[in-house]
Structure 1
């Protein structure tokens, strides 16, 4: 992990060697001899770090037995972090936005000698850092053995454990295997399919989920149905020659085929032997633990297809490797359900007890430990095995539960679990390692919101520009890569099938916490027993704490401060952090009960992310204008009404969330308001998100300058501003989300001139003319719009015929949008719709659904439809429907809706709510149902 610290240092060094920095250095060298060799000094540091990074790439980082190596890596890590801090401050001093150019800046130095003193200090620190790097290089030559380089005899430390686990799987008794019956039957049916073409079958999932155990079980039972068979474990460091030799050897053993000497054969000869062996045979080959597509591609031309029903089975932790098999032959293994988890754990923890029963005094902690394993078979088996040999006392089992992270790090009996999980981390690309570790800074089972997580990664500097893609697009690619590598689990998707929330598996999180501690990446303080932050802590996450934070600790190296779900009395805490942690990059105080932000925040020259969402902060200090590097300012649902003029000076701002909630019941026309923004904000060319602002003549006129906007929300729009607003918005070729709210429910939104071909999400709240639905907005953007909300439209004609042209809609919500009495959803309409909401349409007396309409609909909202006394006619045709939510409906409607079960040939849950408390009380349950349904899209 030291290489991650080096990457961070190289990134800031790269920024420093920009043209403006070079010019500044040349100017400074005339002022002081300290600067004369500074450019060479920076280049030397970069070169040393790159070489060290190359060395670290080639050694086994997870081998803790090489003590000199471990100590040396720690020294490299600490120095790389120190260099990152020095360079960050230096870059700030020479790039301060207050000055129009370097020559003016140099002139300023003479007028403000304190700045020159600061520059001299950081330049001297860089010179010292270069000397330390040279000494570290010499130290490595003297003390660090090089036998662990990947070409040496002790390489593939973690792969050995993977291989041993694969071998062990062949000797597990049938009665020790739990929860594989259905998957075993599925694989068996694929193997014995009547299709005689050579076909590939893949089983994939996170490390330790039981892929090898499952496939071994099937392989042992079915291999004799094939003329020949082979089981091959593929390591990361395989060679094609070695892979083919192993396959030939496996096929030839057990008397299947006469033994063949492959020791002196070249690659061509080995491939010829394989082809001869495979010809006119029905064969079964298992390629276990495959990490990339290349391994399969290297042997693909040896896999003969003689139409005899041969099969290739692949196990992998990576989704794109699993995609070698057709979708119909892919099996993603999920963690075991609760009952199977308990069964497997008890078999291992109580092997000699009658029926493997858990003694009652241990049941509480046994349940907690099983919960920690989160259905991961390898974790259940490993911890069960460890506890089977421990004292059967409540205190001992509680100790193991409370110090699971320590046990993973130090208990040799858990090495198989630790090393299998470590292997997944070890072979992550460098650019993903920090992203993965960062996820462990949140609470156990915390559902990580995709958009916020991506913004945090960008603020941390983990994301680098790639071609024309935005940083957000690159970051989302990183997230999907972690998901496809089984390092994160998707727990919720949005209506478009896109990841909305994900989380870490509990056992992987314990591993990540251990790595964070070892590498000083970050510390999560979540209870009184947590390790306290110390002076070298770089990231601190405070989770679920209640007035237990040490307010006296000094954290001079802190770069990230996260608060998650806290009621910490935080004024002293924040003052301490803002005063003493000058390198802070990320400050997220979401949900904290704070009312003010210290003025000292303006001194945080590195700050990229400031989160005050759902706080009680009423105003921002004027010093906010000094945050030159700020990228994300999140004030959503705080108490701030007006932004200071200094916001317009934040030239790197990308995302601004500034919205106030005024009606949490969402029944009135105005449920939220935007903020008044200073005029200069419309010259912040990097802005991608504004949610949201209050409209006026100046706003709608200047808005067109923000050509990079992707997401935009505006309130209080007047009819006479509509034309100018359309002109401004139509200049934004990247705009994908637009939310326009009229000043009141009688104000007409005249938006016929709006043309946004890339639009995906559209919300219009205000009166619409009947011609609006025939405008270019719906005709041209109809194929791209996926989410549509119309509120207070007061349309006299049925809007559905016009909206039906939006064939990619997945979410449609109509609130006071239609004044008529009947809505008819005709056959073939809205083929991709998943969520339909009908709300507060006081004249609506009938809803009809023809057979063949909304073929994929999964949920219906019926909310405050006072005249609708009958369940929608034809609802039984909606074969994909999962649930129907009814709120503030006529008295008899709930009983009628619940009685419709007899009409359905599928499972549909009906929820009725007539008071807000019941609605909110059930929200978690409903959300859980929705997540379950969306995961299957």
Structure 2
């Protein structure tokens, strides 16, 4: 059964994920070795085909990483979208070749992921198809090489600044944050003798970075020095240290020139020595793992009165903050979501009032944004550029594909998705088989995952215990929303 060819709009990263898993299972099954007795004269050719598959898998894994990184900054670019279409076509072609290979050469037993092999020798003409399969795989490898040439050209364009970057939530779009802002101000201005770590946590699109930036700009003058550094999912510790030092010493050009040749140990020593003598405010924006936090924070001396702010999507990263200093951001309530939508959609109307004839359509659109400020701002900005007529807005509302049109939120979600371990990706993709807003029951979901073979063995733990751990991790990563608890 074809898994990725059924949808023209499937995200290419997901197509590559499913395809690489399919090839991995095929190679792990060792069809060439198993078929040796029947195809003794063709084992060399079989080995060539599987060798080609192995090379393709390695290329696809690297390509998937490139897609994950580039997609965040290339939304709505037609040239880039055209390149993605070529990636999809190659993925479909590879899948066809793998299916043909399994049909001709496979043997019977369940190898997972709904790929079933048929046992024994097929019709004699199956041997003749090996030449065609090998030829097609060779062409696919050449096509992948051509794609890399295209992407190399793209990298040059990106470095030259030809690509528009993703617009995150601006500080002016912050709505309903007064209490959170007051809390942050209180924590930043607390006991002068105590060093504290403050965490802002919540799913992508809630405005963590915007709120942190707002409070950083407002309160940084109270500290002797300050620095803002973005971490994200991939980072270089040396680069982060250099960025912090550059911000702390931005007015001392001669000193910064001396740090250019320093190794990481020297950079750490310089930073520690400086921070020991100063009260500082440092923000680490978008920290993904506890290891990343530990890796960076050990260079940041906890001087008296200093503050370290981290923003993160992960609850277990936020847990590293000082006791009582975790601020969890939530979706906007209906009234505040409506106010923000009107502010972005009706920029020229008096008091940003929604025309009466557009109110019903506008309320429907706002409800689809689920209270996410970034989604509301994105859609509101889009609508503000169109005529304020019922016909026009109804057409836009009907034609909007909420998974592909909300490019900012799609990118935020993609970044979260592709940072998941492979076993969690499979479980999350399984959940997408259910209707929108479907409420899963914990026991039922973990049993379904187990029955589908999505749970890996872990020591003496039962499959359901492991599955429960998967579920908790998805909730902690903000990929699934906990809506109701029982007595347990």
* TM-score, normalization by structure 1: 0.44
On the 8 A contact 2:35/2:106 being kept in 1, the answer is: no
> Is 2:431 aligned against 1:427?
no
User: Which of 292, 295, 300 pairs up with 2:297?
Assistant: 300
Preserved contact between residue 238 and residue 264 of structure 2 (Cα < 8 Å): yes
Residue matched to 2:231? 234
Q: Distance in 2 between matches of 1:59 and 1:150?
A: 11
Relative distance call for 1:153 and 1:330 in structure 2 (3 A) is: farther
Deviation at 1:275, TM superposition (A): 1.6
Residue in structure 2 matching 1:493, options 480, 485, 488: 485
For 1:153 and 1:197, locate their aligned partners in 2 and report how far apart those are by CA, in whole Å.
48
Name 1:70's counterpart in structure 2. 84
Residue 309 (structure 1) aligns with: 305
Write the mapping of 1:508-527 to structure 2, written as runs, cut at 5 A. Answer: none
1:402 aligns with 2:367: no
Give the aligned partner of residue 623 of structure 1: none
Distance 1:448 1:87 in 2: 38
Offset of residue 334 of structure 1:
1.3
Higher helix share: 2
Does residue 6 in structure 1 map to residue 19 in structure 2? yes
Q: What is the deviation of 1:53?
A: 2.8
Q: How does 1:646-795 map to 2 (within 5 A)?
A: none
Take 2:153 and 2:296, find their aligned partners in 1: how far apart are those partners? 27
Residue 302 of structure 1: how far off its partner (Å): 2.3
Equivalent pair of 1:44/1:130 in contact (CA under 8 Å): no
1:195-246, Cα deviation, whole Å (9 max, x unpaired)? 7332211111111111012212222222122111111112333222221121
Give the aligned length. 458
Other-structure match for 2:59: 52
Q: State the match for 1:377 in structure 2.
A: 373
Identify which of 212, 215, 222 aligns with 2:212.
Answer: 215
Higher RCO by CA contacts (8 Å cutoff, separation 6 or greater)? 2
Q: How does 1:596-607 map to 2 (within 5 A)?
A: none
Judged with a 3 Å threshold, the aligned counterparts in structure 2 of structure 1 residues 12 and 130 are, in CA distance, closer, same or farther, namely: farther
Could you say what secondary structure the match of 1:188 adopts? helix
- With over 3 angstroms needed to count, the CA separation of the structure-2 counterparts of 1:210 and 1:428, relative to structure 1, is same
**In the alignment, does 2:150 pair up with 1:136?**
no
The answer to whether the 8 Å contact 1:86/1:126 transfers is no
CA apart distance, 1:178: 1.2
- What pairs with 1:518-597 in structure 2 (closer than 5 Å)? none
Partner of 1:325: 321
Find the aligned partners of 2:290 and 2:153 in 1 and give their Cα distance: 25
Structure 2 unaligned spans of 5+: 1-12, 111-117
Change (3 A) 1:466 1:3: farther
1:9 Cα deviation from its structure 2 partner? 1.4
Tell me how far 1:396 sits from its aligned partner: 2.1
1:64-84 CA-partner distances (Å, limit 9, x unpaired): 634674344223421443356
| Within-5 A mapping of 1:80-99 | 80-82=94-96, 85-86=99-100, 93-95=107-109
The answer as to 2:351 corresponding to 1:337 is no
Superimposed CA distance per residue, residues 421-441 of structure 1 (whole angstroms, 9 cap, x where no aligned partner): 433234334444444344333
1:357-409 deviations in Å (ceiling 9; x for gaps)? 21111111111111000000001111111112211122222223223327x64
Distance in 1 between the 2:467 and 2:127 partners? 33
Distance (Å, rounded) in 1 between the aligned partners of 2:182 and 2:407: 32
Please give the per-residue CA displacement for 1:806-858, whole angstroms capped at 9, x wherever unaligned: xxxxxxxxxxxxxxxxxxxxxxxxxxxxxxxxxxxxxxxxxxxxxxxxxxxxx
Q: Which residue of 2 aligns with 1:603?
A: none
2:38 aligned residue:
28
Q: Which residue in 2 is equivalent to 1:724?
A: none
Per the alignment, residue 894 of structure 1 pairs with: none
- Whether 1:193 and 2:212 are equivalent positions in the alignment is no
Q: Is the 1:204–1:317 contact (alpha carbons within 8 Å) kept by the matching residues of 2?
A: yes
Cα deviation code 1:251-288 (max 9, x no counterpart): 234x5999633322221222222122212221110111
Q: Structure 2 CA distance, aligned partners of 1:399 and 1:445?
A: 24
What secondary structure sits across from 1:281 in the alignment? Answer: coil
Mapped to 1, the partners of 2:164 and 2:413 lie a distance apart of 13
Q: 1:312-360: per-residue Cα shift (whole Å, max 9, x none)?
A: 1000112222222145222221111111111111111112322222111
Higher radius of gyration, 1 or 2: 1
SS of alignment partner, residue 260 of structure 1:
helix
Contact 1:16 1:87 survives alignment (8 Å): no
Distance 1:474 1:154 in 2: 42
Return the structure number with greater strand share.
1
CA contact (8 A) 1:8 1:461 kept: no
Distance 1:126 1:491 in 2: 53
Tell me the equivalent position of 1:709: none
- How far apart, CA to CA, are the structure 2 residues paired with 1:426 and 1:149? 24
Contact 1:41 1:127 survives alignment (8 Å): no
The one-character-per-residue Cα deviations of 1:428-468 (angstroms, maximum 9, x if unpaired) are 34444444344333222111333444444456565444555
**Contact 1:179 / 1:336 at 8 angstroms: preserved in 2?**
yes
Superposed, 1:501-512 pairs within 5 Å as none
The answer as to whether partners of 1:345 and 1:370 remain within 8 angstroms in 2 is yes
Write out per-residue CA displacement over residues 148-175 of structure 1, whole angstroms, 9 at most, x where no aligned residue.
Answer: 59998848x9x9846x53xx73xx34xx
Match for residue 443 of structure 1 among 435, 441, 449? 435
Question: Are the aligned partners of 2:201 and 2:315 in contact in 1 as well (CA < 8 Å)?
Answer: yes
Change (3 A) 1:364 1:257: same
**C-alpha contact 1:4 1:434 (8 A) present in aligned 2:** no
Aligned to 1:206: 203
Shift of 1:147: 4.4
Is the CA contact (8 Å cut-off) linking 1:178 and 1:340 kept in structure 2?
A: yes
Q: What SS class does the counterpart of residue 483 from structure 1 fall into?
A: helix
Contact 1:229 1:251 in 2 (8 A): yes
- The answer to whether the 8 Å contact 2:94/2:137 transfers is no
Give the match for residue 30 of structure 2: 17
Residue 392 (structure 1) aligns with: 388
